[in-house]
Structure 1
Amino acid sequence: MEKDNKEGAILPMEPHIQLEQIYGLQFPESLFTFWEFVQSHVSLFALLEMSLQGPFDILKGISQDEGNALWAARCYNDPPEFLTLASGHSDGYHWGYYIDDPQNPAFPVAAFYSHDAFEITVVGETLFEAARYVLELFYRDNLSYLQSDPGYEQSYEEKLNQLASLRSALQAYETVERQEVGSHYLRKYVPRRQAYPMTRDGMGIVVPAKSYVPIDEHDPFQLGNYVPGEKDVRKNATKAIKLLEQGYPGAALKLGKDLWIYKEFRETSYALLEAAYAALKRDRLREWLKVAIAYRQACEAKWNSEE
């Protein structure tokens, strides 16, 4: 994207402004610092087997079809709050900002496997922390392979040395105070998620405390084998909307997110989320909910045409 200067010449638009116009979101400064890091350490970053996507495609100069920037790196079950930034090497693994409140420009980095169980986890408060987390996972595993697979010591030692070089490069930007490596690092620096109550996807909700009261004393969605029934969903959705009307939209937000993964209750999930975002004045998430719904419908239409 470009802009005119006083003389009428066309000048490149600043990346911050360009992304804000496309996504309607003020991105953390660390995103642009991370982009600078990756450009300077392409071969080292490749060790993490991650490919930058989404907003980074814009920074790379990859053109997007008008209106489809939010589709470019999307996965079928990504909730509206999930904005993909990078994809991994297996089972649809991908990172993204988890944006509870678009007005608050401090977004944790979360990840999940789109081809596996629907469980989202925080992997860092910034992209540098997320990269360090994945690096130490690789380091731990290669150290284990070195000890258990004596026929390939040279290969594993080479990989460990490369990961050590990547670690040093990352520490020049962030996490320099974290001197632990491998399993010691992973035990000490467990990414934390400050959210309550918990939801089916493991991310919970973030709302003002006065905006939430539980629908019921017991939360069945925290049971791994729970399968919601139509009668219970209908009853709880009615309760959630009544609580929203009384000034407690957190209940509708939680139930809407709990039901996101269940195809038979998809319309209920959408309605609850729309109502909750509106009550919480999270208009950007209302727009992204429409994007997520349209993307799912496009995927389903494509799959049906291929049958």
Structure 2
Amino acid sequence: MEKFADIQSLLKGYYNIDFPTSIFQLADFLQNYPEEELEIDLGTVHVSPSGLLSLILNPKLLTENFKKLALLHFRYYRDLPEFFTYLHGDCDGLHWGLLLDDPSVGFRGAASYYNNDGDQITVYSSIFSALIDRCEEELEYCDECLADFPEDEDEDYLETKSRINRFLERIQDYIGKHSIEIVENRVESVSSDSGLGLCVPEKFRRNESSKVYSQDLRKDTIYSVCSIERLLTQSSANAS
């Protein structure tokens, strides 16, 4: 997006990666949200800008000191190499990230997980679909509370539902207005019991039913596709 051209250029200089249009569209959506309602509505769905999104919204954070440690910023202990944080939640290290499985193709899809409890990774077709899913989760929780708790508490949950629906409707309106594609065709070809499979380039695919793990200090940490490419290329060279 043209309004973010300068920050887009800075980020590319720091990371040597072209970040997707969708992350700048999400920033644009938040910047144009009614200011007096933004903090309330984000708080209602329990998300806040973090990582890349916070840098786009506040370019003053991009200093020379930041550049020295750019690749380490906003990374959680269990983050995979292809995971780039852009939102965080309200507890247990919950955060969302863009996915860069195959640098030759670019960013596709998004994922989230709780860093502190070892839960599985949840994968989404795009960052906007991830935000929609979050809203729907919170609406479902409100409905459960309305069914389980006394009627004198209904008013609070009904008000919460109203705010979530307002936020959700504005997201959907923005998606429609800008013809945003919320399915980014991220196709996993190697499964994983972490919840996040691998998108391996076709030329490197051998056994699609296999699972690929590394055995380091983090339990069941999966190699990134970049690492797999290097390993397979080296293996082929040695074999010849």
Quick check: TM above 0.5? yes
Q: CA separation of 1:209/1:133 partners in 2, compared to 1, >3 Å: closer, same or farther?
A: same
Distance in 2 (CA, whole Å) between partners of 1:138 and 1:100 is 29
Q: Summarize deviations over 1:183-233 as a string: whole Å, max 9, x none.
A: xxxxxx999962122124222221233412249x8x6x6xxxxxxxxxxxx
CA contact (8 A) 1:129 1:175 kept: no
Q: Which moved more, 1:62-71 or 1:91-100?
A: 62-71
Using structure 1 for the length normalisation, give the TM-score.
0.61
- Summarize the Cα distance change of 1:46–1:143 in structure 2 as closer, same or farther, 3 Å threshold: same
Indicate how the Cα distance of structure 1 residues 140 and 30 shifts in structure 2: closer, same or farther if over 3 A, else same.
same
Query: Shift of the alpha carbon at 1:68?
Result: 1.4
The alpha carbon displacement at 1:118 in A equals: 4.8
- What does residue range 16-95 of structure 1 map to in structure 2 within 5 Å? 16-41=8-33, 42-43=38-39, 44-59=41-56, 60=58, 61-63=60-62, 65-95=66-96
Runs of 5+ consecutive residues of structure 1 not aligned to the other structure: 1-11, 177-188, 222-253, 282-307
Where does structure 2 lack aligned partners over 5 or more consecutive residues? 234-240
Report the identity percentage: 25
How far apart are the structure 2 equivalents of 1:131 and 1:25? 24
Q: Could you tell me the TM-score, scaled by structure 2's length?
A: 0.77
Distance 1:126 1:193, change over 3 A: closer
Counterpart AA for 1:134: R
Cα distance in 1, alignment partners of residues 154 and 217 from structure 2: 43
**2: CA distance, partners of 1:33 / 1:280:** 36
Deviation at 1:117, TM superposition (A): 1.8
Task: Report the Cα offset of residue 13 of structure 1.
Answer: 6.5
Residue 141 of structure 1: how far off its partner (Å): 0.7
1:52-74, CA deviations, whole angstroms, 9 ceiling, x for partnerless residues?
12222322122453321222211
Q: Which amino acid aligns with 1:206?
A: C
- 1:157 matched to which residue of 2? 158
Cα distance in structure 2, aligned partners of 1:280 and 1:33: 36
The number of residues matched between the two structures is: 216
| Correspondent of 2:213 among 248, 251, 255 | 255
Structure with more contact order per residue of length (Cα contacts < 8 Å, sep ≥ 6)? 2
Deviation at 1:122, TM superposition (A): 0.7
Query: Are residues 1:119 and 2:71 paired?
Result: no
Question: What code does the residue aligned with 1:51 have?
Answer: S
Bigger CA drift: 88-97 or 105-114? 105-114
Structure 2 match to 1:287: none
Q: Given that residues 122 and 192 in structure 1 are in contact (C-alpha distance below 8 angstroms), is that contact kept between their aligned partners in structure 2?
A: no
Cα RMSD over matched residues?
Answer: 3.2
